[in-house]
A = this chain, B = another copy of it.
C-alpha cells in the first residue's frame, strides 16, 4: 500500500480565512487521500515582526472592509452559515491556541477547531476567555477543565512559543498556510485545493 502523504495545516484562531479553511479541510483531505497535521499557531509575534500591532484588516481599513464582504461572499459560496462578526476583532486566541497545541495529535482536534471557529464567526461569540474554550470542550463530550489545565502547563505553553519560531523559520507570514512534505508553501484558503493536489504529486506542468 503506498504511503499516505501528509499536509501541514497552519492556522490561527483569530484569522477569518483560517475559519474558511478549517471548516473544509478535513473532508477535502480525506477525499484526496491526504493525512493532516494540525498546526495551530499565533500570528501576533509574526505580525509584530512586521511592525504591526494588530490585524492588517484593522490597520488598513479599506482592506478590512473588502475582507469582511469577501468573507460573507465566500461563506455563502462554500455553504457555511452567514458570518457573524465577534464584537472584538481580532479575538484573543491564546487560550484556544494552547488547547489546540496540546491536542494537535488527538482525535478531537478537528471537531474542537471547528467548534471554536463556529462560535467565533458563525455565532459571533467571544473565544477569548478560557471559560468559553472549556465550555466548547465540554460540548464535545470532553473534560474541559482538565484539558484547559494541561494546556496551560509550562511545557505546553513553551511548546506553542517554539512552534511560533518554527513558523517564522519556515517562511510563514500569514494564515492559513499549507505546507507539503517537500516544503511547498501555499498561503490562503484559496490555495487549499492546490495544496492538497500538490501533496498527492499532482503539480502544474513544468514545475518541479
Q: How far is B83's CA from A206's CA once the two chains are assembled, in angstroms?
A: 11
CB of A37 closer than 8 Å to a CB of B: no
- Nearest-CB residue, chain B, relative to A78: B204
Q: How far is B186's CA from A77's CA once the two chains are assembled, in angstroms?
A: 14
Q: Produce 1/0 per residue, A8-42, CB < 8 A to B.
A: 00000000000000000000000000000000000
Q: How far is B190's CA from A187's CA once the two chains are assembled, in angstroms?
A: 13
CB of A69 closer than 8 Å to a CB of B: yes
- Distance in Å from the Cβ of A175 to the closest Cβ of chain B? 12
Report which of B70, B190, B207 forms a contact with A76, defined as CB distance below 8 A.
B207
Report which of B62, B63, B206 forms a contact with A82, defined as CB distance below 8 A.
B206
- Nearest-CB residue, chain B, relative to A74: B204
Q: How far is B185's CA from A188's CA once the two chains are assembled, in angstroms?
A: 19
Q: Which residues from chain B contact A171 at a C-beta distance below 8 Å?
A: 62, 65-66
Q: How far is B185's CA from A65's CA once the two chains are assembled, in angstroms?
A: 10
Which A residues fall within an 8 A CB radius of B? 50, 59-60, 62-63, 65-66, 69-70, 72-73, 76-77, 82, 168, 171-174, 184-187, 190-191, 194, 204-207
